[in-house]
Amino acid sequence: MKYGIVAFPSKDLQDLANGYRKRYDPHYAQITPHMTIKGVFDANDQEIEDVAKAIKEVTEKHGPFELKVTKVSTFAPITNAIYFKAELNDHLLDLHKDLNYDFFGDEPEYAFVPHITIAQKLSSGEHDDIIGQLKMVGVDHSETIDRIHLLYQLENGSWTVYETFRLEGNR
């Protein structure tokens, strides 16, 4: 089964993201707006119990972190995805490291860019048409994230919460 670890932002930021995702993200109905902390990995029923225990140990060390979203950006030309860019801070970076290196699944293929996707799988023309106007509208949002979620993928492709973990530490 496929799993991933994410942080869900507040309803306000989700609503803002969904305003764009309804039009520009084919995965809109499959998952709530989120920031991926550990990308997709496979685990069986026994392994996921071990993963959940390990996540619990990590979240006992790490405390809440600030999610500060300050601009709209894109991964073009690599991919025509558009996203709300979150500022990388030490707390978030340390949490990401603990959940991606010497942890279950493969290490990340790309550098960690904390973000919330608002558009993807766009043609080059669509991407070029909307990136400029989204950058002008901009975004400025800050909140505290105090929990992360282990998700799993259903047969229909949608994602749902397997377990939620409160960030309880002081790091």
Q: How far apart are CA 91 and CA 28, in angstroms?
A: 29
Mean pLDDT computed over every residue of the chain:
95
Summarize the confidence of residues 73-79 as an average pLDDT: 94
Q: What's the confidence (pLDDT) of residue 106? A: 79
Per-position DSSP letters for 4-17, written without gaps between them: EEEE---HHHHHHH
Q: How far apart are CA 54 and CA 123, in angstroms?
A: 40
Q: How far apart are CA 7 and CA 34, in angstroms?
A: 6
Q: What's the confidence (pLDDT) of residue 73? A: 97
Q: Identify the active-site residue in 96, 115, 127, 149.
A: 115
pLDDT 10s digits, 110-132: 899 999 999 999 999 999 999 99
pLDDT 10s digits, 7-46: 999 999 999 999 999 999 999 999 999 999 999 999 999 9
Amino acid at 18: N
Residue 27 designated active-site = no
Q: What's the confidence (pLDDT) of residue 35? A: 98
Residue 115 designated active-site = yes
The pTM of the full predicted model, rounded to 2 decimals, is: 0.94
2-166: CATH homologous superfamily?
Cyclic phosphodiesterase (3.90.1140.10)
pLDDT 10s digits, 138-156: 899 999 999 999 999 999 9
Tell me if 103 sits within 8 A of 136, measured CB to CB.
Answer: no
Q: Identify the active-site residue in 34, 62, 127, 149.
A: 34
pLDDT over 90 (residue 109): no
pLDDT over 90 (residue 102): no
User: What six digits make up the tokens of 96?
Assistant: 């990401």
